[in-house]
């Protein structure tokens, strides 16, 4: 799914109106119908809706939604500024709403007299994607008061006060939604930690905007959705053998951190690699041979890896639990100077490279690196916010001709061409030590199986998050462990294979 800027979204609306025999007021009605259908299906335990409507088209959406909710039998109250100059479509819907006696229309100044109870849902229709400045005055006061209410809060398209394409000032007032029902596509503002926290759970409603505009309009920002993944996934060929699915070498572990090597190895095995080797220090031999009997052990030192012996026919994943001692550092840098195939670098491998900026250039072209924000900062420098961090990642991915998997709540995959793919699978249960080790194993295994570097990154990150969703359903986000995530790999593959069979 493409991610568009606020300007492109407005152009998409305009193109749809101009080319598909639909008026702007009819398109607004279509959006309102989609919104009300979701609400009626998901909010059956709540009967009272209170809408706060602004003067623009977001307010117009709110007026249309209020009318349709009333027709569905819900109790509806609408708060507006009666002196506001409404947009043409908002004014048309406001006039129609005033003709429905069951809907109570009140002034913003009467808000303090209204009784909000546990069955009240607040709907934010104050400002949409066109907002260009921070909120102030009466609107700031209204949103501050609404954010303090103990009621479910739903935003129409985007929370009021939130910018679509940039970070707001940290002191800004922004409506804090529990749900955001957004029209047609994701917005960048939903996908970054500084801004996404205001959107709550995002639900994208298809309102049939022009498919022609969407397909022909260029962007460098995308969502990794199920359709994309289903196009990448390659079902296993019945007439195949272990050589068909490649050879993996996981270089990981040090004294006290052999668990990281175990997790990365188990992940690579479970992901389907034909042959898997683990290059680790001797102190981890018994642990690895016991916990991962399907993998072969390569001794790389006593308590730390001080020699990287990796077959040229193997795809390497290096870093989990490796440590950063001097001997490991020397051995890794020596290896990278002699190695040119794409590989996966994570954790301590990245920390070693970050010690001296000139070493970053040793990363083989087309490789995948998987830094979390702090590791990214050590490698490439400090940024002011996560939007700026993505832009720096785009620059570095192009300069080094590598793929950067920037781990976050919505992990971003940045390609050498400057494309940014946001992942929307996963959950906070992955915020545990060891989760990144699984991703290293997943990515390395996919590369060994012949997936391109880009497809391995997109599929691997999506898969990692999807398995975490299954694990959370069984164990909860709090209690789930990385090993629980590995145990769900089969369920994810099962779902993908069922969908592949249906297509046939």
**Domains in the chain, start-ordered, CATH in brackets?**
6-218 (3.40.50.10260), 229-503 (3.40.1190.20)
Q: What is the pLDDT of residue 235?
A: 92
Across the chain, mean pLDDT equals 95
Q: What is the pLDDT of residue 47?
A: 80
> Which residue in this structure is represented by tokens 């069984």?
474
Bridge partner list, 436: none
Strand arrangement of the beta sheet that strand 296-299 belongs to: 221-224, 420-423, 412-414, 403-406, 368-369, 344-345, 315-318, 247-251, 275-280, 296-299
475 neighbors 385 (Cβ within 8 angstroms): no
Is residue 423 within a helix (H) or strand (E), and if so which, with residue range? strand 420-423
19 neighbors 212 (Cβ within 8 angstroms): yes
> Which residue in this structure is represented by tokens 């030590």?
433
CA 226 to each of CA 281, 408, 423: distance values in angstroms, whole numbers, following the listed order: 40, 20, 11
What are the tens digits of pLDDT across the range 182-218?
A: 999 999 999 999 999 999 999 999 999 999 999 999 9
> Which residue in this structure is represented by tokens 């959370």?
472
Q: Which residues contact 358 (CB under 8 A, 6 or more apart)?
A: none
Which pLDDT band holds residue 504 (cuts at 50, 70, 90)? low
What are the tens digits of pLDDT across the range 37-52?
A: 999 999 878 889 999 9
Q: What is the pLDDT of residue 406?
A: 97
Q: At what angle do helices 435-448 and 347-354 cross, to 10 degrees?
A: 90
What are the tens digits of pLDDT across the range 4-48?
A: 999 999 999 999 999 998 999 999 999 999 999 999 999 878 889
Bridge partner list, 275: 247
Share of the chain above pLDDT 70, in %: 100
Bridge partner list, 279: 251, 298
What integer is the mean pLDDT of 355-384? 96
Q: What is the pLDDT of residue 274?
A: 94
Q: Diameter of the chain by CA atoms?
A: 82
**CA–CA gap between residue 294 and residue 317 (Å, rounded):** 17
Which pLDDT band holds residue 116 (cuts at 50, 70, 90)? confident
Q: Is the pLDDT of residue 289 over 90?
A: yes
Q: Is the dihedral of CA 136, 137, 140, 143 positive or negative?
A: negative
CA 269 to each of CA 66, 305, 314: distance values in angstroms, whole numbers, following the listed order: 54, 21, 14
What integer is the mean pLDDT of 285-305? 97
Nearest to 403 by CA among 347, 465, 458: 458
Strands (E), 197-263: 201-205, 221-224, 247-251
309 backbone dihedrals φ, ψ, rounded to 5°: -105, 100
What are the tens digits of pLDDT across the range 311-368?
A: 989 999 999 999 999 999 999 999 999 999 999 999 999 999 999 999 999 999 999 9
What are the tens digits of pLDDT across the range 79-91?
A: 999 889 999 999 9
Q: What is the pLDDT of residue 21?
A: 87
What integer is the mean pLDDT of 378-387? 95
Helical segments of 82-225, H only: 88-98, 137-147, 193-196, 211-216
What integer is the mean pLDDT of 105-122? 89
Q: What is the pLDDT of residue 95?
A: 94
Strands (E), 240-306: 247-251, 275-280, 296-299
Q: Is the pLDDT of residue 466 over 80?
A: yes
3-state secondary structure of 104: strand
DSSP label at residue 202: E
Q: What is the pLDDT of residue 131?
A: 80
**CA–CA gap between residue 183 and residue 35 (Å, rounded):** 9
Q: What is the pLDDT of residue 168?
A: 81
What integer is the mean pLDDT of 114-118? 84
């Amino acid at each position: 799914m493409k991610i568009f800027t606020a300007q492109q979204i407005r152009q998409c609306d305009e193109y749809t109106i101009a080319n598909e025999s639909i008026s702007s007021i009819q398109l607004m009605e279509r959006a309102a119908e989609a919104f009300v259908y979701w609400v009626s299906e998901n909010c059956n335990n709540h009967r009272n809706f209170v809408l706060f409507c602004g003067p623009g088209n977001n307010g117009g959406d709110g007026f249309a939604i209020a009318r349709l909710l009333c027709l569905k039998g819900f109790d509806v109250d609408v708060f507006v500024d009666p002196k506001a100059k409404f947009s043409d479509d908002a004014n048309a819907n406001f006039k129609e709403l005033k003709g429905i006696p069951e809907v109570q229309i009140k002034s913003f100044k009467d808000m303090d007299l209204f009784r909000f109870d546990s069955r009240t849902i607040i709907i934010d229709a104050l400002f949409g994607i066109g907002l260009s400045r921070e909120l102030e005055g009466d609107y700031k006061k209204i949103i501050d008061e609404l954010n303090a209410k103990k009621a479910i809060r739903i935003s129409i398209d985007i929370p009021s006060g939130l910018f679509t394409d940039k970070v707001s000032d940290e002191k800004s007032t922004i409506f804090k939604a529990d749900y955001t029902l957004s029209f047609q596509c994701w917005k960048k503002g939903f996908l970054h930690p500084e801004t996404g926290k205001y959107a709550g759970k995002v639900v994208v409603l298809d309102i049939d905007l022009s498919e022609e505009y969407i397909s022909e309009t260029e962007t460098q920002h995308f969502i990794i959705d199920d359709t994309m993944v289903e196009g990448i996934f390659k079902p296993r060929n019945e007439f195949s053998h272990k050589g068909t699915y490649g050879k993996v070498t996981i270089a990981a572990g040090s004294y006290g951190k052999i668990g990281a090597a175990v997790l990365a190895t188990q992940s690579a095995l479970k992901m389907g690699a034909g042959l898997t080797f683990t290059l680790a220090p001797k102190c981890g031999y018994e642990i690895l041979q016991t916990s991962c009997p399907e993998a072969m052990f390569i001794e790389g030192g006593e308590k730390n890896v001080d020699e990287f012996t990796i077959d040229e026919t193997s795809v390497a994943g290096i870093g989990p639990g490796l440590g950063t001692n001097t001997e490991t550092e020397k051995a890794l840098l020596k290896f990278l100077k002699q190695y040119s195939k794409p590989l996966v670098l994570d954790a301590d491998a990245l920390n070693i490279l970050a010690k001296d900026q000139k070493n970053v250039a040793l990363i083989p072209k087309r490789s995948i690196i998987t830094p979390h924000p702090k590791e990214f900062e050590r490698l490439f420098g400090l940024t002011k916010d996560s939007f700026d961090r993505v832009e720096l990642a785009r620059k570095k991915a192009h300069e080094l001709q590598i793929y950067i998997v920037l781990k976050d709540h919505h992990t971003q995959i940045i390609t050498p061409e400057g494309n940014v793919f946001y992942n929307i699978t996963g959950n906070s249960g992955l915020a545990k030590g060891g989760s990144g080790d699984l991703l290293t194993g997943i990515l390395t295994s996919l590369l060994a199986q012949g997936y391109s570097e880009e497809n391995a990154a997109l599929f691997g990150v999506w898969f990692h998050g999807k398995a975490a969703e299954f694990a959370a359903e069984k164990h909860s986000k709090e209690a789930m462990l990385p090993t629980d995530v590995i145990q769900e790999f089969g369920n994810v593959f099962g779902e993908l294979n069922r969908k592949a069979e249906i297509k046939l």
